[in-house]
Every structure is written in C-alpha cells, then in structure tokens.
Structure 1
Amino acid sequence: MRSLLLGFAAGVGLLQTRAALPGAVQAALLLIALMLAAVVACRMQRASTRVLARIASGAITGFLWAALLATHYLAEELPVAVEGQELTLTGVVANLPYRFERGLRFHFAVEQATGPDGSALTLPSRVALSWYDDPRAQLSPPALHPGERWRLSVKLKRPHGNANPGGFDYEAWLLEQGLRATGSVRGLGPDSGNRRLAAFVFSPTAMVEGCRGWLRERMAAALAGQRYAGVIIALVIGDQRDIGQDDWKVFTRTGIGHLVSISGLHITMVAGLFAALVQALWRRSFYTRAQLPLLLPAQKAAALAGTAAALVYVLLAGFGVPAQRTLYMIAVLAIALWTGRIASVSHVLCTALAVVLLLDPWAVLWPGFWLSFSAVAVILYVSVGRARPVLQDGTASRMQTLCDAARTQYAVTVGLVPLTLLLFGQISLVSPLANAVAIPLVSFAVTPLALAGSVAPAPLSAWLLLAAHWLVAQLALLLEWLSGFALAVWAAPIPAWWMFALGLTGMLWLLAPRGWPARWLGLLLWLPLLLNAPDAPEHGFRVTAFDVGQGNALLVETASHRLLYDTGPAYTPDSDGGSRVILPYLRYRGISRLDAMLVSHSDIDHAGGALSVLDEIDVGWVGSSLEPDHEIINQASRHSRCLAGQNWTWDGVRFEMLHPTPSIYDIPGQKPNGRSCTIRVSAGGVSMLLAGDIEAPQESQLLSGMPQRLPSTVLLAPHHGSGTSSTPDFLDAVAPQIAVFQVGYRNRYRHPKAEVEQRYALRQIRGLRSDRDGAISLDFAQSPSEPGTAAVSVDTFRTRHRRYWHGD
C-alpha cells in the first residue's frame, strides 16, 4: 500500500515538471501501461517485482489524475478578445478581502458577465480582483465581506506573473486557487455603477470565510495599534497578510517562520485538548442518567471530537498544506480506531500524503509541502523502532521526556538542512536556540491565549489577546537579538542534484541509530552543499535582465565582480522589484554582495527596489543621477554621480559611462529621463549598451558627441521601447543584433510601441521581451586563446523552465 501511495505522489510531482499536458495518444498509452503494471503487481511472485509494479501503477495513476485536474481547470479561459475591455460582472465575494494601503484585494465568484455592448459572456468562474483607492477624489472602496453579492465594472486579463529564477510562480498559484483571470474594479462612488445586490448569499465557503472575517475584525479591534497583531491573527485564522516585512525578515533569519501560522503542532494540540476533554466527560457520564459509554465507547467519542476540532481549526486556517497534512493524519488515526484496525505511523503519513495530492496536485510546487512531510519523515526515521528506557511502571521519566523532545528538535533541525538549502539557499544557524524557546512558548501559551481571546466575551477577550501579544513581543526581543548576528544565516547557492543527494545521504548517516559506525562522517558529505560557491563567467561577462514588470533591473557579472543596473519598480509600499525579484534571485544564486549598483534615474520603475537591496546585502558603491538629498544616496555607503567619461575595468571587461554630461545637471526643469546613466559594457568583440530611459534629444547628443562608442552587440531598448526613443539614426549607429525590452504585461503605456518594434524588425534586430520571455540571460563569451573570438548566447526563463500552466 505504501509503495502504491508513494508512486502516486511521484507521478503527481512528475506532471508538474512538464511543459505540456499529455495528449490523447499519450494518455491512452499510459492507461495501457497502468493495466500491465497492475497485472504484474497482482500476479508476480517475487516481492521486489510486485513493489516496483505497485510504484509504477501509483506513478501512472498520479500522473493521469493530476493531468485530468489540470485539464479541467485550464479549460476555463478568459477570451483574449475581452482582455482590457470594461466588463460588468455579477457575483459573490468568495474569500476574506484584504485591505492594503492602496485598496482592496479579493476573489470573486462570477455568476453572470456582460460585455461593453451588453452581450452575455462566458468567463472563468473565479477571478482575482483589486479595487484601488482614488487619492485625488479622496475615495476608497467600500468594506467588503464574504458572501456579499455585487455588480461590478471591471477590466480583466489572463493569468500572468513575473518569471525569474528563484522567484514565486504566481501563475501556478492562480491555477491552484482556481483563479483563471485577474483584474481591477473600475470606479468609486455612487456614479461608478458598482452596487451591492445582497448582503449575504449562503454557501459553505461563505460561512467559513465569514467566520474568519468576524474573528479577524474582532482581534484587530482588540489589538489596534499593536505591532504584532498580525502574528496573533495568523495564529488563529492563518491570515499572514498583516505581518510586516521587517518582522518576516526576523522570523526567517531565526528559522521560526513555521510557527507564525496554524502549524501541525498547533492543530494536534487543539485536537488532543478537545479529545481529552470529551473523553473525560464521556466517561464520567456513566455515573449520570445519560450513561453515554453504553452507547459509544469513550475512545471513539474522543477520536470523533478531536477530528471535528481539527477540521474546524483547519478550515479557519485557510486549508494550508501543513494543516491539511495534520488533519488527514488525525482522520486516518480516528478511522483506524473506529474500525478496530492498527495503523502504523508510516501508513498514516503515506495516506495523508496521497489525500493532499489527490485534492491538490499543485501542493508539490510549494516549500511548505516538502518541509511539512519531510519533518514528519525525519521524526519517524529517528524514533520508530528505537528503544527508550522506561520506569518500572512502564512510563518514561520527565527527564527522558525532555531529552526526547530535545532529540526530536535536533533531528528535525539537522534533517531539514539539505532540503532547506535546496528550497531557499540558506539555513538559520540560530534556529535551534530560537525554536527551543519559541516552540513551547507559541504552542502552549501564545496560541491557547489567542484562541481563547478570539471567542471569549469582552472585556476578557481583550485581556487574553493582549496577554498573547505581550508574550509575542517578549519573544520578538530575543529573536531580533539573535537575527542581528552576522552568522545568523548560512547562505549558499541552490545546490546541484548530486550535492543534494550527498547531503541527504550525509543526513541519514548522521542521524543513524547508535552503533552505526562513524556517524560524524555524515558531516563530510555536507561539505559540497555548504561550501557551494556562486558560479560566474570565466571569461567575458553575463547579463541577466530580470522580469520585474514595467521597469528596468539587470545584473552584470564578470569573473569576480557584480554590478546591478537599476532595481525595478515599487509595486506597493511593502513590495518592490528589489524584495520580490532581485533579492530572491541573489539568494537563489548564493550572492551576498554587490560590488556596485547603478540607479539610472529617479523614476520609480527604475529606483523602486533600491532601498530593499541596500537594506539586505552589502553594496560596494552606488552610482546615480539622483538629487543629492535622495534617500537612496543617504543610505548608500559610498556614492558617485554618473558622468560621461567615467570608466573602469573588471576582469578584462570594460565599463564606460556615456551619459549624462556634467552640463545636464545644471539645466533647470530637466526631466529625470534625460539624466539616465547610460553605460556600455564590452569585452573582446561583444558589448551591451544600457540606455535607461534616454529619449530622442539624448540619443541625438550621443550621436553627435561619441558615435564611435555606440556600436553594441546588444541594446537595452531606451525607455522600454517608447515612441520618444529608439530613433532610426540611433539604431543605425548602435547596430545591435539583439534588443532587450523590459516591459510589463499589458502595461498601460503600451510599451513597446508597435511602430518602434517595427523599427527594430526592419533592421533585423532580434527583440526579446521580459513580458513574453521572462528573465533573459545573455552570456557574452570571450575565448582566452583567441582574443578576437566572441559570441553572445541567449537563454530565456520561460523557454528553459516552461510549464503547462504558463500562458503565451
């Protein structure tokens, strides 16, 4: 049975690595293979053959099941023809809306849709919407609640997200949530046409989300103005959106992020508490007229109560993977008790694994899935079948219980090191100490107080919630102190498969039972994993143009130096191109320092992520055309103004600043675009021109002042391909083979302009677009033996890492 379930999980995981779903012929062949494997599994006498056949049967079943669900969800598509059109939707608020600084975000279950001409449309059944504030009119969206029916005027677009190495796959998340379009609500106020049609439309989802909303509002009111209110809310209803980025940074560096949510430990605690309470009352009812044990054994009643409590808590948690895993394990144990069967822990874990993937095949895409099941697997590995000393009455001593808890924490910490490095490229070295304090405090004090305070009557509820918040605040003081250590986190690049395999073997060796020879040798197998260094071009240079949406951000790498050119846009006050794209990529690569950062000019789509980058990693110096009192300059350790004529050489790669000239800084009213730092990077016979947002006047100035420095193999299209840049004379002078357009999907500026793209195409310049290709990697290779030989190789993220859910 276990081999079949593990095979099922492997098959589900295999499908999520595919660029396309299987066709009819492939599905038919897989069904035939499934029948053959089933026959072998049933009739072969050899045990090993039967096990392999069961694994194969499970894998094919899992692959086909995941493909069937994916086909079903992908069948709901937003027609291309209606993208960007103003539509009228009638439907129901389908989740707990989130209020952020600029507006509201919520999911909407579509019941009816009409186009601009009033014709009926068939649209996806669920869409993700944003409803923005209007600061000029001082209007904000009305408060929304789950279950309300609204008629809304919206503009929609097909699922699309930034595609970068080490980044979050937004399109996969949308598919998992059943959201097949995103968009925004148009208009505010009584004249907008947006109307609430019903205060509540009953459905199980609306009931659950309504309860979550009631609890959130109650706790938010009691903890108004408290810094860690978001942590308390997360512990009760699993909504982590109110936790600040600074706090997340501390939780991540200390390795206790798993506790700032409804974890498996919390659910088990609540389920056990309810089970123990029901069992105690059920047994004592024997001395009353009820005599309930005669109707149902107390153990069965307790199992039922514990499972019901776990289900309620998991529903409040938003049904996350760790919560699901715990619920299914509790349910399997309860079923085993009710049916009189003995369930081994490994069977329970494998069953929970299969049920999670049966309901949500995309769970394998997220770190929480792997960390959750791996943690339990490690605990089983170090505990099942290993003897423990007991007292004469058959119980363990308190000291032994404490030692077992410490051993379990040690095993989980050590056991998850290879997987944590594979998923995140870093591990917290202070995690054992932080978790030793945080786990008992959060699990046995903060969480019970928060749960009791969320439902208790006032004013008791406020006292309980404030007590829970005080404990979190005291814990945060310790965590902030621990996270401040320079070696709090060990960072390394995402390892190759063989490094991970060695690390996994080392972990199993290190945690082997006593008596296993030389267990310390397991640490030696970790060395390739821990000492893995970031790769770099041996000769020439490499440029990575990130997919940051509408904005610029490029990383230029030589053999031993790195320069970041622009930092992407600011999306919200808490999210920008630096925190969402650049820093995850640097962690993915194991890069902890930049030699330089150039911020071409002050526009928010170029400078929006600079502060996030400066706050997280060491930057040698910053160059820019910013005003002297700009916040980025104030935060930089060393700053220099961009001036034409500046140049330097790193590892044989030449960097030349072509613009701006000193006189431009003295021109009154000069637009920031006109001061864009323009730099040419060259090695051997290849080069790239990074032109920022310069426009026609600056292009003309470059043509007249230094035409001999313009020819380049690759051109970063000036101003994202706007109609005010890329003049014919400029393109003729640069004569690039490749042009890179960093633009946002369906951006409001319509960059690149059609006429500009045509201008490049007429000159047979290959155009690469971040909205279509994702992150773009350009390797400018230079042969050391033949100095005049050089070439440019192109790799796009959406081509190399394409998955079946990625749009065109």
Structure 2
Amino acid sequence: MRTFLLGFSAGAFWLQMQAALPAHAGAALLLASLLLMMLGYVTRGWHVGLRMAMRCLFGLVFGYLWAAFLAHSALSSELALKDEGQDITVTGAIASLPYRFEQGVRFNFAVEKAVGAKVPSLIALSWYAGFRDAVTNAVGNVQPGERWRLTVRLQRPHGNANPMGFDYEAWLLEQGVRATGYVRPQPRADTPNMRLAAFVPGFGNVVEASRAALRARILRSLEGKQYAGVIVALVVGDQRAIPQSDWQVFNRTGVSHLISISGLHITMIAGLFALGGGALWRRSFFTDWQLPLRLPAQKVAALAGALAAFLYVLLAGFGVPAQRTLYMLLVVALALWLGRITSIVHVLCLALGVVVLLDPWAVLWPGFWLSFGAVATILYATAGRTATPLPEGASRWRRLRAAVALGAHTQYVVTVGLVPLTMLLFSQVSLVSPVANALAIPVISLVVTPLSLAGSMLPAPLSDGLLLLAHAIVQMLAQVLDWLGARRFAVWTAPAPPMWSFCWALFGTAWLLAPRGWQHRWAGMLGWLPLLTALPSSPPAGQLWVTAFDVGQGMAVLVETHDHRLLYDTGPAYSLDSDGASRVIVPYLRARGIAKLDGVIISHSDLDHAGGAMSLLENVQVGWLASSLFDGHPAVEFQRESHRPYLHCMAGQSWTWEGVHFAMLHPLPASHTDISLTPNARSCTVKITAGRHAILLAGDIEAAQEAQLLARSTDGDLAADVLLAPHHGSGTSSTPAFLNAVHPGLAIFQVGHRNRYKHPKPQVYARYGDMGIARLRTDVTGAVVLEFGDNIDVTQYRAMHPRYWHGR
C-alpha cells in the first residue's frame, strides 16, 4: 500500500508538469482501475521486490490518470473568448470570506444563473466602486452566504509568468475559479446590483459565514491593534490582513508556519479536546450512567479529538498543512476504533494519498513539501531509536527536563532536515530559526492560540479581555522576533540549487541525522557546501543578459554584465500593499541569489514604472539610483537618507561595465526644471551595447521626444537590435521615422493582459510588423530573457515552461 501511494503521488506530480492533458483520461482511468484490481491476484506469488515495483508503477499511472481526469473536469467550464469584457448579469451567492482593502472588496461568487453568456460556476470578483463600510450597510457590503444579482465583466484566468514566480493561474485552477472580473458600478437601470437574500442555506455558506462572524468579532475587539491580523489568522486562517512588513520579520526568523492554523495547533487542540472528552466520559459526566461500560473512554477521546480537529480545519479554509494533520489524526482515530495497530509511516502515506486524491494540485505548492517533509524528517531521525526511559517515581523537574530535551531535539531535527528543501523552494534559510521557534512555538501554540479561540467564542466582556491579552503577548513576541530578524546574520541566502546539488545536500542531511554510532556524522554538513556557497550565475565578460519581466501594465528590465547588475524601472503598483517589485522582482532576485543591484534607473514617476520603487529599495541593496523623479519623491528621499548616490538622468552620461557600454540618450539637463513637461517627456532613455549588438530602453517617450532624439543623433546612434517599445506601444509613440532610425530586429512590448489602455494599439503593433520587426508581448510570452553574445538568444518563459492550464 505504501509503495502504491507514493507512486500515486508521483504520478499526480508528473501530470502537473505537462504542457497538455492526455486525451480520454476518463476511459484510461477506468481501464487502470480494472488492472489495479487484478494486480493483487496476478502478483501474489511474485518476489517481494518485483511486487513493490509493480505497485509503485501502477500507482504512478493511476495517479497520473486520476489527476488528468480531475484536470479535464476542472477545465471543462470555460468562459468563451467572445464573452471576455462584456457586461454579464449573474445571480448567485457570496462563496468566500470577503477581503476588504482600501479600494474595495474581493470575494468568490458561486454563480446560479447568468444572462447573456455561459459563465463558470465559480468566479472571483473585485468590487471597486460603491463599496461602503459595514455601518452604512450600503451596496457592496457583501457577506458570505448572501445571494446577489450583479452585473460583471469577466476574463479567463490570467497571471504574470516569470521565472521562480508565483503561478496565479494554477492557484485559481486549484480553487476551482475559472474566471475573474469586477462588478460594474453603474449597470443598466433594469438590472441594478442588489442583494436578493440575506443567506442561502448550504454547508459551505455556513462555514464561511461562521468564519466571517469570528473575524468581525476579533477585529471589533482589536480595532486599531497592530497584530489583529495575526489573531485572525490563528482563529480562521485568513492571513490577508497581516502587512508585508510583518511577513518579512516572520520569514526572516523562520516562524511564518506558526502564523496560521498549522498542524501543530490542530494537534494541540485535538489533544485538549480528546483529553477533556475522555476525562468526562470516564467520569460519566459526573453522573451514575456508567458510560465507559457502554463505550471505552479511549474511543470517545479519539472521536472528540478528531471532531475538534475537523472543525478547526474548516476554520482554516482547508489548507494543505491543516489537511495533512487532519488526515493523520483521522487515520489514527479510525485505527483505534477498529482495533487495528498501524505504524506512523502508514499514517503518513495514507495522509499523503488522501491529500493528493482530493487535491492533485497540492503538489505544486511549497506548503505541501514542507509539511510532509517535516514529518518525514522527524520519522527518519527518531523512529526505531530508543530513548533512555525515566525511572519510576522520577521528579516533575526531571520529567520537564526530559520533555524540553525532546522538544529541542525535534526542533533541531526539523531545522536541519529542511535546510535543502528550504533552499530549493526559497533560496534562503533562517539562521535564527531554532532560537525563534524555541520561543514562538510554545508561546503561539500553548498560549496565544487557545486564548484567541476562547476569546473569539466566549461572550463579552470576557472575550474582549482574552483577545487583548492574546494580542499583548503577540506584540511582545513580535518585538523579540523583530530584534532577531534585524541581525545581519539572520538569513543565509544563495541561488536556488540545481537538482544535483539538492540531492547531494539531501544525502548529507541523511548522514548528519543518522543514528548515534554512525561514523563521522558531522561530515554530513559537507553535503551542504555546494548548496550554501553557490554564487549567482552571470554572463561572460563582454556579454549581456537582459530579462524583461512580465509585471502586467508596467516596465521592469534587469540588465546583467559579468560583475554588475542594473534594474531599469521597478514595475507597477497593484495596490497599496502590492507592487511589481514585491511580487515579481524581489522574489526573482532572491531565487537567483542576487543580494545587490549596482544601479537602478527609474525612467519617470508614473506608477507603472516607479510603483515598486520603495519595495525594491527596502528589500534589496542598491548602489546608485538615477531617475527623472521630482525632488521629494519617496524613492529619492530614501536613497539620500541611506547616504547612497542619487543623480538625475541626463543625455551624455555614459559608463562601461566589463566591455558593455551604457549611454544615456534622454532627457536633456534642462528638462528637469521645465515644469511644462509631462513625466513621459522626461523618460530616461538608455542604449546598451555589447559587442556588435545593442538594446534601446525607451521608457515612455512620445513622438516629440522621438523627434528630438532623431535631431540630436548622427548616423547609427540610435540603431539597436532590440527595442523596448516606447510607452508600451501607445498611439503617441513609435513613429515610422524613429523605428527606421533604430531599425530593430526585435521589439518587446511590456503590457498587461487586457489592459484598460488597449496597449499596444493595433495600428502601432501592425506598424512594427509591416516593417519586418519581430514582436513579443509579455502578456502572451511571459518574461523574455535575451542573451547577447555572438548572436542574440531569445527565451520566452511560457514557451519554455508550458503547462496545460496556460494559454487556454
């Protein structure tokens, strides 16, 4: 059974790496099921090794086909291309915990009826206009379970596609969301947006409404408190109210796994309920019913613990770590009820199989690998190893010391055992994590979580006091974590390792955690050397790498020489707490092991170019900053307060890095004091030349600035093999004369999918094609990587990493 389940999980993972789904997956799955039933009879007399291999093989095929069958089913409900961007009236229920932000509210919507188009059964909506707070009870104050009629505009799932980036389209597929969109603020008079029913009965709606009620109660009690979002996350699993600055501290100290409904918390709550339920049953609830004679107290305790775990996991939104813990507890409870003795390895494999069976996309996320990896590491380092038993009558102090020693050893095992996996997934490992977790685990699990749960459910004013106490403890803990995370040695970073380095580090870790008596266990740490000491890759001297990120409607281009790195623009601002730098650029740099940028150029102040400036400057060490930003801009002030060089972009500036020449072509010095100019007119324009090839980064210059460049240039000054299309291909740029002077072979349009500006304009895009210029759009190709050597090699991320859920 274990080998089959491992093969089954591997098969599901294999399917998620495919560019296309197999045809007739349902029929193939049925055939595989029949063959599987025959397997037990056919292989009964075979050698045990061959029998295990066959089970693993059948599990692999079965998992692959099962995941393909579910994927076909999930993708079957698709919004037609012709219906994208059209006004559609839908009726249905609010199907998730709404997330309220500064500009509005986001929620999932279960569609019951649609007028004007065929709409998927579950869609994700944003309501930007008409939103009001809960006091006014105005239109837009949506609550889980309510039935609404809304006029919406939808599109198929689409997300940014970048190396080492988050796959938003895969996440939507796992959630069952097959279209995204927004509520129209002023629909037709005959179909206004309106609430039709206060609550639609249903199990899911009851769960989500309960979560919303608990969240509202916590936020009322902790109004204005800094860490109210942490308390909410511990009670209902909603982490969206925790600001990015707090997540940075939690990640640097390695305690982010505790700021949610984690497996540790679920096990603790289940244990408390099991202990209480068993104690009450043994005492027959202090009556003379003699209940243990009817049903053993152990079974009642197991049932109480399993039920408590199930309810708590529902509050968590059924996340992967919570699922894994629930299934393990249910397997143990079931084994106890049936009188079957089972090993912890069987329990882990069964939990793995159930998670993948119900959610084959779980294998795509770090939480899946970390949760099962942690348990597997503990099993490897402890199972079958005898500990020195305590003598009878040992003192409480001695028992406490033994428990602390066991906890410290477990924390050591998990910290050491997950180093290779953490480096593979996040390209960094927290060095202060053992200390931070030794403090945070008992505080969060044994004190804060029970106080938060009790405070969210008990009547006022007792509830307010408990929640305030829980918040005060979190606040004190956060101060300690902030101090630990601020240490320079807090985090070790290195590039994401290649597979050979990861496997070698795993071997070293297994050697290090081997049983006592194993020769030279310390030598296992040598397996980490290639993992932890790797340096970022870079082009040979004289050559150039350019990465045009897919940041939506905005610009962000990373330029790399042998020893230097330059970022041109920082991407757009998506919301008050999210931007192109925090979502795309910083994760990419971290995965590459790039801790420093020698220079940053921000072409101008528009938010689609400078929106990520502060996130970048706060998270990445920057040498110098050049821009056309106005004095007083936050990025300019931050750079100056950090005592790092800042300068205005000016035509005539130039420098050379390892044989690669950089020349600033625009703007003129006088433009910085000319208040009549728009930010676009002052866009920093840079030409980069590596050997025989060049690229021109033109920002948002328009026709007037293109004409000025032509007037100031001599023959060949503007010529470049690659052009970053000015102003995203707007109708005010890319004049024929300018394109003739640049004469590029390739143009890159950094644009957002279905952006509201309609960039690139059809006539401008056609102009490039008519002139024989190859065209790449980042909303179609994903990130574009250019390698300038003897030739220019072009890599399109979506083409190199195709997945069956992309491009449908």
Tell me, yes or no, whether TM beats 0.5. yes
Matched residue, 1:787: none
Q: What code does the residue aligned with 2:306 have?
A: T
Deviation for aligned residue 1:135: 9.8
Q: Could you tell me which of 639, 650, 659 is aligned with 2:646?
A: 639
Matched residue, 2:385: 386
Matched residue, 1:413: 415
Q: Separation in 1 of the partners of 2:445 and 2:469?
A: 14
Residues 280 and 286 of structure 2 are in contact (CA less than 8 Å); yes or no, is this contact kept in structure 1? no
SS at match of 2:521: coil
SS at match of 1:807: coil
Residues 312-332 of structure 1 deviation map (CA, whole Å, 9 limit, x = unaligned): 000001100010001000100
Matched residue, 1:664: 671
Q: Separation in 2 of the partners of 1:605 and 1:459?
A: 48
Matched residue, 1:691: 698
Within the alignment, does 1:349 sit opposite 2:309 as a pair? no
Q: Separation in 2 of the partners of 1:139 and 1:273?
A: 40
Matched residue, 2:201: 202
Residues 103 and 141 of structure 1 are in contact (CA less than 8 Å); yes or no, is this contact kept in structure 2? no
Residues 40 and 53 of structure 1 are in contact (CA less than 8 Å); yes or no, is this contact kept in structure 2? no
Residues 14 and 64 of structure 2 are in contact (CA less than 8 Å); yes or no, is this contact kept in structure 1? yes
* Count of residue pairs brought into register by the alignment: 794
Q: Separation in 1 of the partners of 2:427 and 2:67?
A: 29
Residues 41 and 49 of structure 1 are in contact (CA less than 8 Å); yes or no, is this contact kept in structure 2? no
Deviation for aligned residue 1:487: 1.3
* 1:356-367 alignment runs, 5 A limit: 356-367=355-366
The structure-2 alpha-carbon separation of the partners of 1:736 and 1:445, relative to structure 1 and needing over 3 Å to count, comes to: same
Q: Separation in 2 of the partners of 1:107 and 1:286?
A: 44
Within the alignment, does 1:800 sit opposite 2:800 as a pair? yes
Residues 720 and 742 of structure 2 are in contact (CA less than 8 Å); yes or no, is this contact kept in structure 1? yes
Deviation for aligned residue 1:802: 1.1
Deviation for aligned residue 1:140: 7.7
The structure-2 alpha-carbon separation of the partners of 1:394 and 1:738, relative to structure 1 and needing over 3 Å to count, comes to: farther
Q: Separation in 1 of the partners of 2:380 and 2:373?
A: 10
Deviation for aligned residue 1:393: 3.2
Matched residue, 2:304: 305
Residues 128 and 179 of structure 1 are in contact (CA less than 8 Å); yes or no, is this contact kept in structure 2? yes
Q: Separation in 2 of the partners of 1:588 and 1:139?
A: 45
SS at match of 2:283: helix
* 1:537-548 alignment runs, 5 A limit: 537-539=539-541, 540-548=543-551
Q: Separation in 2 of the partners of 1:753 and 1:141?
A: 36
Within the alignment, does 1:170 sit opposite 2:168 as a pair? yes
Within the alignment, does 1:295 sit opposite 2:294 as a pair? yes
Unaligned runs of at least 5 residues, structure 1: 116-120, 782-789
Q: Which shifted more, 35-44 or 584-593?
A: 35-44
Residues 88 and 153 of structure 1 are in contact (CA less than 8 Å); yes or no, is this contact kept in structure 2? yes
Matched residue, 1:606: 609
Within the alignment, does 1:769 sit opposite 2:769 as a pair? no
Q: Separation in 1 of the partners of 2:122 and 2:26?
A: 30
Within the alignment, does 1:90 sit opposite 2:91 as a pair? yes
The structure-2 alpha-carbon separation of the partners of 1:25 and 1:172, relative to structure 1 and needing over 3 Å to count, comes to: closer
Q: Separation in 2 of the partners of 1:756 and 1:445?
A: 62
Matched residue, 1:431: 433
Within the alignment, does 1:131 sit opposite 2:134 as a pair? no
Residues 664-702 of structure 1 deviation map (CA, whole Å, 9 limit, x = unaligned): 224332010010000000111100000000000111111
Within the alignment, does 1:736 sit opposite 2:744 as a pair? yes
Deviation for aligned residue 1:31: 4.7
Matched residue, 2:43: 42
Q: What code does the residue aligned with 1:167 have?
A: G
Q: What code does the residue aligned with 2:123 have?
A: V
SS at match of 2:212: helix
Deviation for aligned residue 1:638: 1.4
Q: Separation in 2 of the partners of 1:494 and 1:373?
A: 21
Within the alignment, does 1:105 sit opposite 2:103 as a pair? no
Q: Separation in 2 of the partners of 1:378 and 1:804?
A: 33
The structure-2 alpha-carbon separation of the partners of 1:478 and 1:141, relative to structure 1 and needing over 3 Å to count, comes to: farther
Q: Separation in 2 of the partners of 1:26 and 1:463?
A: 56
Residues 586-620 of structure 1 deviation map (CA, whole Å, 9 limit, x = unaligned): 01101000000000000000000011000011100
Deviation for aligned residue 1:41: 6.7
Deviation for aligned residue 1:106: 0.2
Q: Could you tell me which of 523, 526, 531 is aligned with 1:524?
A: 526
Residues 546 and 557 of structure 2 are in contact (CA less than 8 Å); yes or no, is this contact kept in structure 1? yes
Q: Which shifted more, 690-699 or 623-632?
A: 623-632
Q: What code does the residue aligned with 1:61 have?
A: F
Deviation for aligned residue 1:28: 4.5
* 1:212-231 alignment runs, 5 A limit: 212-231=211-230
Matched residue, 2:254: 255
Matched residue, 1:149: 147
SS at match of 2:43: helix
Residues 142-178 of structure 1 deviation map (CA, whole Å, 9 limit, x = unaligned): 3111110000011000000001111111000000000
Matched residue, 1:784: none
Deviation for aligned residue 1:287: 6.8
Q: Separation in 1 of the partners of 2:510 and 2:296?
A: 42
* 1:11-90 alignment runs, 5 A limit: 11-24=11-24, 28=28, 31=31, 35=35, 38=39, 42-90=43-91
Residues 565-602 of structure 1 deviation map (CA, whole Å, 9 limit, x = unaligned): 00010000000001001001001101000000000000
SS at match of 1:144: coil
Q: What code does the residue aligned with 2:619 have?
A: E
The structure-2 alpha-carbon separation of the partners of 1:606 and 1:803, relative to structure 1 and needing over 3 Å to count, comes to: same
Within the alignment, does 1:555 sit opposite 2:551 as a pair? no
Q: Separation in 2 of the partners of 1:207 and 1:24?
A: 37
Residues 12 and 64 of structure 2 are in contact (CA less than 8 Å); yes or no, is this contact kept in structure 1? yes
Deviation for aligned residue 1:391: 2.5
Q: Separation in 2 of the partners of 1:687 and 1:28?
A: 52
Unaligned runs of at least 5 residues, structure 2: none
SS at match of 1:235: helix
Residues 140 and 188 of structure 1 are in contact (CA less than 8 Å); yes or no, is this contact kept in structure 2? no
Matched residue, 2:503: 501
Identity %: 59
Q: Could you tell me which of 567, 570, 595 is aligned with 1:567?
A: 570
Q: What code does the residue aligned with 2:418 have?
A: L
Matched residue, 2:245: 246
Within the alignment, does 1:159 sit opposite 2:157 as a pair? yes
Q: What code does the residue aligned with 2:11 have?
A: G
Q: Separation in 2 of the partners of 1:28 and 1:574?
A: 46
Q: Separation in 1 of the partners of 2:744 and 2:544?
A: 17
Matched residue, 2:764: 756
Q: Separation in 1 of the partners of 2:662 and 2:610?
A: 21
The structure-2 alpha-carbon separation of the partners of 1:661 and 1:716, relative to structure 1 and needing over 3 Å to count, comes to: same
Matched residue, 1:489: 491
Residues 96 and 145 of structure 1 are in contact (CA less than 8 Å); yes or no, is this contact kept in structure 2? yes
Residues 405-451 of structure 1 deviation map (CA, whole Å, 9 limit, x = unaligned): 11000000000000000000000000000000000011101011001
Q: What code does the residue aligned with 2:752 have?
A: G
Q: What code does the residue aligned with 1:698 have?
A: Q
Q: Separation in 1 of the partners of 2:279 and 2:41?
A: 50
SS at match of 2:469: helix
SS at match of 1:113: strand
Deviation for aligned residue 1:296: 1.2
If the length of structure 2 is used for normalisation, what is the TM-score? Answer: 0.96
Residues 712 and 736 of structure 1 are in contact (CA less than 8 Å); yes or no, is this contact kept in structure 2? yes
Residues 713-765 of structure 1 deviation map (CA, whole Å, 9 limit, x = unaligned): 00000000001000011111111010000000000011001111110111111
Q: What code does the residue aligned with 2:625 have?
A: V
The structure-2 alpha-carbon separation of the partners of 1:287 and 1:103, relative to structure 1 and needing over 3 Å to count, comes to: closer
Q: Separation in 2 of the partners of 1:444 and 1:308?
A: 20
Residues 104 and 141 of structure 1 are in contact (CA less than 8 Å); yes or no, is this contact kept in structure 2? no
SS at match of 1:709: coil
Q: Separation in 1 of the partners of 2:6 and 2:602?
A: 50
Residues 139 and 189 of structure 1 are in contact (CA less than 8 Å); yes or no, is this contact kept in structure 2? no
